[in-house]
Amino acid sequence: MSASKGAAREVIAIDGPAASGKSTVSRRVAKGLGYLYVDSGALYRGVTCAALAHGIPGTDTEGVLRCMAEREFAWEVADGAVTFTIDGVRPCAELRTEAVNQNVSPVAAACAVRVQVVEWLRGMLCFGSLVMEGRDIGTKVFPDTPYKFYLDANPEERARRRHGESQEPVSVAEVSASLQRRDTIDRRRAVDPLKVAPDAEVIDSTGMSIDDVVQHILNAIATRRAEST
């Protein structure tokens, strides 16, 4: 994949903490614009999943890197998104297990893992214009994009939303504790921590409907385009 092939293409960066509504909103914004959706967190989850399948915990960075080098990660476009396969198999539900939730933050905090994942993410421009959600899309992966949004919501609402999506028998309090633990690691890690890009628009989605947030972002993109022509 070559990022240079896609130099004229656009990226909409949507960053924010876990369960802030990024995935649903980003998918809908991508559909509205006719762009491809990318869930960058799924790549960190995929790496974690591959490592766990070989008995390697997320804290074993050497083991995780070895596993990344030995597995074949490949990209494909499906259902309006750029997705990936690992050794020819597209992971789905296994990306969202509690085991992956527990192990993914240390994987995502490892510098060498991030260097590889950022390169993969930049390369996805070869497929077309993108709406990419994550933690460092506006600050690190595509810092030059003029379209940056930072979605947030209060911790109680985020815990309620994530609990509603969970397939496992966990309480809201457990989900809340897990979210807070991951937020802290994501915000405090040395490499590309979760933070608001100086030129990002912050949207607090607490009490807003998905439709409202999507429409707000589409309007902001249209305004920015009109201002730059």
Per CB under 6 A, which region of 2-10, 104-112, 162-170, 209-217 contacts ligand DC? 104-112
Q: Please answer whether residues 202 and 153 qualify as being in contact, where contact means their C-beta atoms are separated by less than 8 angstroms.
A: no
What is the DSSP code (8-state) at residue 200?
P
Measured CA to CA in angstroms, residue 159 lies from 15, 67, 162, 180 at distances of: 18, 32, 5, 9
Question: Binder to ligand DC among 151, 182, 205, 214 (CB under 6 A)?
Answer: 182
How far apart CA 45 and CA 192 sit, in angstroms, is 17
Does residue 103 interact with ligand DC by CB under 6 A?
Answer: no
The footprint of ligand DC on residues 132-161 (CB under 6 A) is 134-137
Question: Binder to ligand DC among 20, 40, 103, 178 (CB under 6 A)?
Answer: 40
Residue whose CB is less far from ligand DC, 54 or 181: 181
Residue whose CB is less far from ligand DC, 95 or 219: 95
Q: How far is the CB of 43 from ligand DC (least distance, A)?
A: 8
- Total binding residues for ligand DC by CB under 6 A? 14
What is the DSSP code (8-state) at residue 89?
B
Q: Please answer whether residues 226 and 220 qualify as being in contact, where contact means their C-beta atoms are separated by less than 8 angstroms.
A: no
The footprint of ligand DC on residues 18-37 (CB under 6 A) is 18
E strands present in 20-146: 36-39, 73-78, 81-86, 130-134
Residue whose CB is less far from ligand DC, 137 or 217: 137
Question: Binder to ligand DC among 131, 161, 186, 217 (CB under 6 A)?
Answer: 186
Q: How far is the CB of 174 from ligand DC (least distance, A)?
A: 16
Q: Which residues have C-beta within 8 Å of that of residue 196, sequence separation ≥ 6?
A: 15, 150, 202
Task: Give per-residue burial for 188-217: e unless 16+ CB within 10 Å, then b.
Answer: ebeebebebbeebeebebeebeeeebbebb
Residue whose CB is less far from ligand DC, 122 or 135: 135
Q: How far is the CB of 106 from ligand DC (least distance, A)?
A: 9
Please provide the distance, in angstroms rounded to a whole number, between the alpha carbons at the two ends of the chain. Answer: 31
Coil vs helix vs strand at 51:
helix
Question: Binder to ligand DC among 12, 33, 67, 104 (CB under 6 A)?
Answer: 104
Q: How far is the CB of 104 from ligand DC (least distance, A)?
A: 4
Under the rule (CB under 6 A), what is the footprint of ligand DC? 18, 40-41, 44-45, 104-105, 108, 134-137, 182, 186
